Amino acid sequence: MLRVIFMGAPTFAVPALTEIVGAGHDVVAVYSQPPRPAGRRGLELRKTPVHEQADTFGLPVWTPNSLKTDEAQDTFRTHEADVAVVVAYGLLLPQPILDAPVHGCLNFHPSDLPRWRGAAPLQRTIMAGDTATAACVMRMEAGLDTGPVCLREPVSVPTNMTAGALHDHMATLGGDMLVRALGALERGSLECTPQPQEGVTYAAKIDKSEARIDWSKQASEVHNQIRGLSPFPGAWFELETSGKSERVKVLKCEIAGATNASPGTILNDITTIACGNSSGIRLVEVQRAGKRAVPADEFARGARLATGQHVL
Segment 98-102 shows an average pLDDT of: 98
Does any domain span residue 162? yes
Q: Is 37 buried (19+), middle (13-18) or exposed (0-12) by CB count in 10 A?
A: exposed
Same domain, yes or no, for 227 and 184? Answer: no
* pTM score over 0.85: yes
Q: Which of 184, 202, 220 is the last residue of a domain?
A: 202
Please give the residue range of the domain that contains residue 116.
Answer: 3-202
Cis peptide bond upstream of 196, omega within 30: no
pLDDT on residue 42: 65
Q: Which of 202, 225, 242 is the last residue of a domain?
A: 202
Residue range 122-142, pLDDT digits in tens: 999 999 999 999 999 999 999
Q: Report the domain count for the chain.
A: 2
Distance in angstroms (rounded) separating the CA atoms of residues 152 and 157: 16
Any residues with CB less than 8 A from the CB of 53 and at least 6 apart, and which? 14, 17, 18
Domain containing 289 — which CATH number? 3.10.25.10
- How many beta carbons lie within 10 A of that of residue 226, not counting itself? 28
Q: Which residue has the higher pLDDT, 105 or 259?
A: 105
Say which amino acid occupies 251. Answer: L
Q: Which of 153, 176, 202 is the last residue of a domain?
A: 202
Same domain, yes or no, for 160 and 291? Answer: no
* Backbone CA torsion sign across 76, 79, 83, 88: negative
